[in-house]
Amino acid sequence: MSESPTPYRVLARKYRPQNFSELIGQDAMVTTLANAIRRGRLAHAFLLTGVRGVGKTSTARLIAKALNCIGADGQGGPTIDPCGVCEPCVAIAEGRHIDVVEMDAASHTGIDDVREIIEAVRYASVSARYKIYIIDEVHMLSKPAFNGLLKTLEEPPAHVKFLFATTEVNKVPITVLSRCQRFDLRRIPADKLAAHFQHVVDAEQVEAEPEALALVARAAEGSARDGLSILDQAIAHGSGKVEAAQVRDMLGLSDRGAIRRLFGELLKGDAQAVLAAVRGQYDLGVEPAAMLHGLLETCHGVTRAKVAGTEDPALSVEEREAYAEWAGRLGFAPLHRLWQLLLKGHGEVQSAAMPIEAAEMALLRVVHASQLPDPGELVRKLASGELSPSPAPISASAPTSGPAPTPAMAAPLPSAPAAPAPAVEAQALPNSAKGLHALLLRDNALLAQLFHDYAAIVRLEGDALTITRHPRLPASFAADLGAVLLKRTGVRWTIELTAETGAPSLFERANAEKDAARAAVLESPLVQAALQAFPEAELIDYSAPEPRSLAS
């Protein structure tokens, strides 16, 4: 009878790191552990946290091997480079070492499971240097279980080490966190994942396109295990060859070239081309949310290219050229507005009953917004007077789209004089700081407060106003003040901020008057006599006496 063939091991298990040099993306943690082992400063408990698939459990096993390795000759000590051939290393790698206990806290959550650990730690290890407890998903332990573990975790025997792993460190009690040395395992960058996947396909003797591996790395979102699972599926999907087109089909990803073309049509404001491109992608099986996601990635990529260039190795040559071209002719303000519109549309598509219709409406909103004038430019023109904030009057002969005017609408009654526009009031120009402040209070309370507190008038002559430049006054203060004065007086004021010293502001005058009144009260004979009688007395508050009439 022939022996059964060896069962297939998925790539995520087959290429699990066996030493710290194979652990990718966690250099800072490896350096810390190496220094701790070299100097004999080993903590009694370690907490490993991070997203799924970055190597928390694998790192815990590597630490167990590093602490218990005895070397190929059996004379070695703890090392950051375990030999992998001694009995402890082999047994730990195969998961059968009696002194290295792995417990899944998701299925062993109670106080009884923790009591078994507490009882066992009192006994020395059987054959290893350290008795090690690896508790995976430790945040799943119950509150009584955590409380029961606290004392043992704080003062364990010298031969015991605890290694905790969790994806949700915020659910671990602070009392446990304070007793552990914490390591935050980072997401693995896409370029490092792609290089790792290239090593894997070379070892598996599988041909793979670099763009396909970049797509897998991007889809893994920083998780080596997720990426290897996707790569395993891609190898099976491509019958031994991994191609970018097949990976896109397998993952339901939109063609990035089509997304770039759609992004270009959005920037042109061509509504018909946008709708045709969306329907074309939808007919190919691309989900509407994936289209919006791709557009968001493109917008983010263009913005990054504008800030830091296009040296991302995960980008294709075509993407780099397109991003560089868009980054050169688009400003930050349009890119930020486009991001907000696409982000809002993406949320609508995800929750919509009709996703494709919601995607089309969201992109048409982007097209419509591209044809609107820039809000910042409009504000600047209004502040400088290039545009009038009020609509121009309609002449009697000009055609209108509304109903035909009645005689009462066409001309005012002879006895009723035409009223002035409500935005402009016929009145004398204010000639003092108090007059200006009173005028501002009627229109803009915040501007009036700024004027009251910080405006030191140097000159006020008719409609010409010069104010000392104050660091608390915003850059738009002169323009905002001019707009309000134009609205309230009907006159375009000339306002200038200067370094010259002006008269005290209204706030400073009020404080000076209060100080003068307080000084007058302190100098009065009655108060002086009271202070002499009670040297430690202080004047806390006072009120001016009411004037008495002659009749009283």
- A 10 A CB-CB count for 155 gives 9
Q: Count Cβ atoms within 10 A of the Cβ of residue 63 and give its class: 0-12 exposed, 13-18 middle, 19 or more buried.
A: buried
Three-class DSSP category at 62:
helix
What is the distance in angstroms between the CA of the first residue and the CA of the last residue of the chain?
A: 130
Angle, helix 355-370 to helix 256-268, in steps of 10 degrees: 40
Q: What was the pLDDT predicted at 520?
A: 84
pLDDT of residue 373: 64
Cα→Cα distances 152→44, 112, 131, 165, 523, Å:
11, 15, 14, 18, 73
- What confidence score (pLDDT) does residue 482 get? 85
Q: How far is CA 314 from the centre of its chain?
A: 22
- Which amino acid is it at 164? F
Q: How many residues does the chain have?
A: 552
pLDDT value for 131:
93
Question: Directed axis angle between helix 210-220 and helix 244-251, to 10°?
Answer: 30
Angle between helices 433-441 and 506-523 (to 10 degrees): 120
Burial of 384 (0-12, 13-18, 19+ CB in 10 A): exposed
Q: Which residue has the tokens 């491509």?
A: 238
Position 313 scores a pLDDT of 56
Domains, the chain, ordered by start = 11-184 (3.40.50.300), 190-251 (1.10.8.60), 282-370 (1.20.272.10), 433-503 (3.30.300)
Angle at which helices 256-268 and 317-329 cross, to 10°: 20
* Kind plus residue range of the DSSP H or E element containing 332: helix 332-351
If DSSP codes are grouped into helix, strand and coil, which group holds residue 403?
Answer: coil
Neighbours of 370 (CB within 10 A): 17
DSSP letter for each residue of 306-325: HHH-S--TTS-HHHHHHHHH
CA distance 41 to 240: 48
Question: What residue ranges of the chain have pLDDT lower than 50?
Answer: 1-2, 390-426, 547-552
Amino acid, res. 409: M
Give dist(CA 217, CA 232) in Å, integer: 13
**Contact (CB, 8 A) for 206 and 229:** no
